Amino acid sequence: MEPLLLSMGSRVIHMGDVGMAAHMKLIINQILGAILCVFAEGALAGMDSGLSAEKILFVLQSSVVACPAIQLKGPDMLGERVFTPNFPLKHALKDLRLAVETGKAMGIPTPVTQAAYGLFDAAREKGFGDRDISAVVRALTDRQERYGATSRGDPREMVARSSADFSLRFPGSASTAIRYSRIPSSSRPQPQ
């Protein structure tokens, strides 16, 4: 079996009993989802304040938070936003739901995963379920509604025109758990 597995990857690590490898995959996808959500929030805020997408990506990859997920998905999330499917957003949403349910069953709180689930669900509701996981950035923008899903343009303009606010739903919650609002330009701290 190992030669077959090595044809799909560079290493084989025995995870234990049946089901443990699937659980490990769930952990990886849970962390990936959270990373992309925080990256989207931070990068969009940085671009809205005047930083270029290129500088944000360069500095992040030279910092302690450098990671392959941002290196691989970041340019599309901040640039053209084509979202060619590699790992469909709807599958990541399913994994985040499973991670929340697993945490609940084990008595482990999952507030960060629940927040990521909410952003992924918002992007799915905007029609990005079949696009790549990187389309989660669309939960924070309204570019599709104003410009069409395939339009191109300056990411800072797209962020500046994003919706005033939106709400997130968490699995198992009928009520709104978090409400995000954009800070008006006039209220933002100005560089000295």
Higher pLDDT among residues 166 and 76, named by residue? 76
Q: Does domain 19-186 have CATH number 1.10.1040.10?
A: yes
Q: Tokens 């025109």 belong to which residue?
A: 161
- The rounded percent of the chain whose pLDDT value lies above 70 is 73
Task: Kindly tell me if the per-residue pLDDT of 144 is higher than 60.
Answer: no
Q: Which helix (H) or strand (E) holds 156?
A: helix 155-160
Which alpha helices (H) appear in 20-154, and where do they start and end?
Answer: 20-48, 53-61, 68-78, 89-106, 111-123, 143-147
Residue 146 CA to residue 138 CA, distance in Å, equals 12
Residue 116 CA to residue 33 CA, distance in Å, equals 6
Contact between 33 and 96 (Cβ < 8 Å): yes
Tokens of 114: 């629940």
User: Cβ neighbours of residue 149 under 8 Å, at least 6 residues apart?
Assistant: 127
Higher pLDDT among residues 132 and 182, named by residue? 132
Which alpha helices (H) appear in 49-88, and where do they start and end?
Answer: 53-61, 68-78
Give me the pLDDT at residue 127, please: 96
Backbone angles phi, psi at 179, to 5 degrees: -125, 125
| Residue/partner pairs of 19-26 with CB below 8 Å, 24 or more apart | 23/102, 26/95, 26/98, 26/99, 26/102
Residues identified as active-site: 25
pTM over 0.85: no
Give me the pLDDT at residue 5, please: 84
Q: Burial level of 110, CB count in 10 A (0-12/13-18/19+)?
A: buried
Residue 100 CA to residue 132 CA, distance in Å, equals 21
Tell me the average pLDDT across 158-176.
Answer: 39
25-39, 42-56, 94-108, 147-161: lowest mean pLDDT where?
147-161
Backbone angles phi, psi at 110, to 5 degrees: -130, 55
Tell me the average pLDDT across 106-135.
Answer: 97
Q: What does the longest C-alpha to C-alpha distance in the chain come to?
A: 62
Residue 45 CA to residue 189 CA, distance in Å, equals 12
Tokens of 166: 């939106």
Tell me the average pLDDT across 37-44.
Answer: 96
